[in-house]
């Protein structure tokens, strides 16, 4: 039975495609696009979640002060309050990434595409060569997961860390390291 699959023009792109098919990455709510402090404050004070974010960020002012701020977008607000409003807005606007599921970290990977180690370069996952098989459970996923949660898991970062932290951990460094110089990859997790 086929498992989750990712495809892309590089190994990192295919890995990210696979991961994004399983969990939601860190993302920004499309309704939170205000740039000016007044618009941000108006949006935050309209919901309980926004009001909590303001309190969590350290905004402790009287209701009268809030009403004054909201009634005049040119009101002279101290810089530290502007920073608190912006921080609260960013905290509400950004949704954290779902954790990487265990079936992805512990899965058996089959990688199809051009694989190179030393002088050995071949296209894997064809009628002539089996896919490169990697046991994800032997890998160290800490760096990958940290980048994923922070929203910084680029295709290149994912490929680099997957090589170092999953492939090398499972089957070794190869004769001269691992390279994936092809233009199309398919990664399946079983």
User: Which pLDDT score is estimated for 176?
Assistant: 85
Q: What is the mean pLDDT of residues 23-51?
A: 90
Q: What is the mean pLDDT of residues 96-100?
A: 92
Radius of gyration from C-alpha coordinates of the chain: 23
Is residue 1 predicted with pLDDT exceeding 60? no
Work out the percent of the chain whose per-residue pLDDT is above 70: 99
User: Which pLDDT score is estimated for 51?
Assistant: 93
CA 10/CA 16 separation, integer angstroms: 10
Q: What is the mean pLDDT of residues 160-165?
A: 97
Q: What is the mean pLDDT of residues 93-100?
A: 90
Q: What is the mean pLDDT of residues 41-62?
A: 93
Q: What is the mean pLDDT of residues 100-125?
A: 96
| Domain ranges for the chain | 5-25+98-189, 27-95
Residues 6 or more apart whose Cβ sits within 8 Å of residue 10: 155, 156, 159, 180, 182, 183, 185
User: Which pLDDT score is estimated for 31?
Assistant: 84
CA 112/CA 5 separation, integer angstroms: 11
Residues 55-68: tens digit of each pLDDT: 999 999 999 999 99
Q: pLDDT-derived band of residue 175, with 50, 70 and 90 as boundaries?
A: confident
CA 86/CA 131 separation, integer angstroms: 49
User: Which pLDDT score is estimated for 32?
Assistant: 87
């Amino acid at each position: 039975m086929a498992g989750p699959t990712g495809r892309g023009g590089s190994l990192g792109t295919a890995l990210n495609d696979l991961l994004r098919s399983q969990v939601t990455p860190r993302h920004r709510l499309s309704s939170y696009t205000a740039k000016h402090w007044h618009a941000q404050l108006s949006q935050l004070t309209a919901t309980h979640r926004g009001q909590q974010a303001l309190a969590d960020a350290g905004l402790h002012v009287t209701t009268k002060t809030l009403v004054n701020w909201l009634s005049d977008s040119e009101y002279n607000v101290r810089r530290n309050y502007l920073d608190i409003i912006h921080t609260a807005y960013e905290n509400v606007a950004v949704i954290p990434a779902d954790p990487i599921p265990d079936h992805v970290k512990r899965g058996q990977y089959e990688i199809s595409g051009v694989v190179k180690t030393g002088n050995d370069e071949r296209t894997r996952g064809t009628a002539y060569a089996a896919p490169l098989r990697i046991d994800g459970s032997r890998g160290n996923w800490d760096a990958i997961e940290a980048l994923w949660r922070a929203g910084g898991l680029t295709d290149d970062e994912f490929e680099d860390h997957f090589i170092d932290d999953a492939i090398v951990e499972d089957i070794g460094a190869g004769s001269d390291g691992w390279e994936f110089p092809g233009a199309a990859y398919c990664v399946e997790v079983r």
